[in-house]
């Protein structure tokens, strides 16, 4: 037994590369199709139904081995398998989020200026605003028409873009701090430029409204109730000559959602403990609301799988892996991280004892006992894991849904995949970490 804690690059074992690349294919297909929480939910629901999962109804009398799912308002989905033990004796939960930083339309978004139709937006989540100009964007989401009909906008239909000032005239702009280079109200999206000659004013806006009416049956008022969002319009790509990494929009946190889901789908025998995968919305804006992890929706789910049980006792007996991405060491930006406590690409899922910022503020800070429970579980299953913190002390920080689970009296540990360029329109992850993280969730949930 080694005296040292050491981690290894999973790619050192070249025999595993075909299996790693195979696992990554499924993930890349998912990432090509799913760029919003709603499309993720639809994808997970469809695949679960294909594998014999049934809707979790109120009053359902579930037996060991029964597979269930429940959708939360189209923006979240919980899936699970009933264990041999009663759920009241504890549930094994993997929780991840399926929302990602993006650009949402305002309720009254459309206007015209200088013969261009433009959308006003409000960004969602933590972004460097200047990164979101001059990249192709897709418009996705749902519009509910005056008669109640729900129309889904597929991202592939159109391309949009936020313009940027040419370098030739950027003397003043280049002297600004990065947070001011592109300001929130400048994130406006070009929506059209052909005038409608049948009207006297707002000719281009009128023409765009006509197109929207023809395509979706909507009018300007329908924007008020709609959920419409602009997401990067490019497919995931294999990165580098060896194609070992994946560049994609929204690894945070769909890489953890997918790996937890995939692990659940791979369970073939009835587990001892009931397994539950909780895929939620709104983490990037504080986990609030009916579809965030602070919502009591999870209590309703637990009541349905353990009718009549004490929820407090059930939570006390349960364990949770809060699955969210972490910052992998970037040789270009070593300063804000602390090398010895930073995860590496391709070294497996990263276990994190605490998140938070400025003196561990706002973290659940997992106990030695629950940390050890998971590291022993993973060691016994041959999982290659590592540890890491989100940055050096006082360099910044961040949180996950872990504290909302722990506040419910559930022993919770953070785990996740290390990324480069987190929250940028294109983030970077390792295929090897996708592969090993599926194995880690499987070891916990099976």
Contacting positions for Mn ion (CB under 5 A): 252-253, 324
Considering beta carbons, is residue 195 or 398 the nearer one to Mn ion?
Answer: 398
CB 238 within 8 A of CB 227: no
**The CA-based dihedral angle spanning residues 396, 232, 291, 356, taken in that order and rounded to the nearest 10 degrees:** -10
Minimum distance, C-beta of residue 96 to Mn ion, in the bound complex (Å):
8
**Smallest gap from residue 260 Cβ to Mn ion (A):** 13
Q: Least distance (Å) from Mn ion to the CB of residue 423?
A: 6
Residue 100 CB, shortest distance to Mn ion, in Å, is 7
CB nearer to Mn ion: pick between 66 and 252: 252
Closest distance to Mn ion from the beta carbon of 223 (Å): 27
Helix axes 17-33, 251-265, angle to 10 degrees: 120
Least distance in angstroms from the C-beta of 19 to Mn ion: 27
Nearest to 145 by CA among 210, 211, 225, 214: 225
Token pair 């973290």: residue: 363
Tokens of 72: 């939360």
Least gap, CB of 126 to Mn ion (angstroms)? 7
To Mn ion, the closest distance from the beta carbon of 143 in angstroms equals 27
CA proximity to 38, closest of 161, 155, 212:
155
Among 276, 263, 258, 300, which Cα is nearest to 81's? 276
Q: How far apart are CA 77 and CA 72, in angstroms?
A: 6
User: Which residue's beta carbon is nearest to the bound Mn ion?
Assistant: 253
Q: Name the residue nearer to Mn ion (CB basis): 205 or 282.
A: 282
Beta strands, E only, 9-101? 54-55, 67-72, 76-81, 91-97
Cβ atoms of residues 202 and 108 within 8 Å: no
DSSP for residue 379? H
**Segments of 396-440 assigned E as strands:** 411-416, 418-419, 427-430
Q: How far is the CB of 101 from Mn ion (least distance, A)?
A: 7
Q: How far is the CB of 284 from Mn ion (least distance, A)?
A: 5
Which of 117/280 has CB closer to Mn ion?
Answer: 280
In angstroms, the Cα distances linking 395 to 339, 352, 371 are 13, 17, 24
Compare residues 44 and 68 and give the one whose CB is closer to Mn ion.
44
Give 314 or 417: the residue with its C-beta nearer to Mn ion.
417
Residue number with CB closer to Mn ion (274 or 355) = 355
E-strand ranges in 312-417 read: 319-323, 326-327, 350-352, 386-387, 411-416
Closest approach, Cβ 365 to Mn ion, in A, equals 18
CA dihedral 94, 234, 126, 389 (to 10 degrees): 50
The beta strands (E) that lie in 114-158 are given as: 116-124, 137-144, 150-153
Are 83 and 174 in contact by the 8 Å Cβ rule? The answer is: no
Of residues 112 and 253, the one with the C-beta less far from Mn ion: 253
Decide whether 223 or 404 has the Cβ nearer to Mn ion: 404
For Mn ion, the closer CB: 222 or 252: 252
CA distances from 99 to 30, 79, 115, 195, 419 (A): 14, 17, 34, 36, 16
Which residue's CB is nearer to Mn ion, number 252 or number 414?
252
């Amino acid at each position: 037994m080694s005296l040292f804690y050491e981690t290894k690059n999973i790619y050192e074992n070249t025999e595993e590369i075909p299996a790693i690349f195979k696992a990554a294919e499924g993930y890349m297909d998912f990432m090509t199709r799913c760029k919003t929480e709603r499309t993720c939910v639809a994808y997970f629901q469809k695949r679960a139904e294909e594998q014999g999962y049934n809707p979790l109804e109120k009053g359902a009398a579930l037996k060991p081995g029964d597979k269930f799912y429940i959708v939360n308002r189209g923006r979240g989905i919980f899936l699970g398998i009933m264990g041999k033990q009663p759920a009241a004796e504890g549930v094994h939960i993997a929780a991840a989020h399926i929302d990602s930083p993006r650009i949402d339309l305002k309720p009254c978004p459309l206007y015209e200026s200088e013969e261009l139709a433009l959308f006003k937006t409000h960004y969602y989540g933590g972004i460097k605003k200047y990164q979101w100009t001059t990249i192709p964007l897709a418009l996705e989401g749902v519009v509910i028409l005056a008669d109640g009909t729900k129309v889904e906008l597929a991202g592939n239909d159109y391309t949009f873009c936020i313009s940027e000032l040419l370098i030739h005239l950027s003397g003043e702009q280049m002297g600004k701090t990065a947070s001011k280079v592109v300001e929130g109200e400048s994130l406006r999206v070009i929506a059209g430029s052909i005038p409608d000659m049948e009207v006297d004013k707002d000719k281009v806006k009128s023409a765009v409204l006509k197109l929207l009416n023809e395509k979706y049956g909507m009018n300007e008022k329908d924007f008020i109730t709609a959920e419409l969002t602009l997401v990067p319009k490019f497919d995931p790509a294999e990165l580098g000559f060896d194609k070992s990494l994946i560049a994609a929009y929204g690894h945070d946190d769909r890489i953890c959602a997918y790996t937890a889901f995939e692990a659940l789908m791979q369970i073939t025998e009835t587990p001892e403990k009931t397994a539950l995968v909780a895929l939620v919305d709104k983490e990037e804006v504080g986990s609030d609301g009916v579809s965030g992890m602070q919502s009591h929706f999870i209590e309703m789910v637990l009541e349905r799988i353990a009718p009549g049980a004490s929820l407090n006792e059930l939570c006390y007996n349960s364990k949770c892996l809060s699955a969210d991405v972490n910052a992998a060491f970037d040789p270009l930006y070593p300063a804000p991280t602390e090398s010895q406590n930073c995860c590496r690409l391709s070294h497996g899922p990263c276990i994190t004892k605490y998140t938070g910022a400025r003196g561990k503020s706002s973290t659940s800070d997992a106990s030695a006992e629950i940390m050890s429970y998971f590291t022993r579980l993973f060691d016994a299953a041959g999982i290659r894991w590592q540890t890491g913190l989100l940055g050096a002390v006082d360099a910044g920080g961040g949180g996950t849904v872990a504290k909302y689970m722990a506040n419910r009296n559930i022993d919770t540990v953070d785990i996740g995949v290390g990324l480069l360029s987190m929250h940028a329109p294109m983030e970077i992850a390792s295929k090897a970490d996708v592969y090993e993280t599926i194995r880690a969730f499987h070891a916990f949930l099976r």
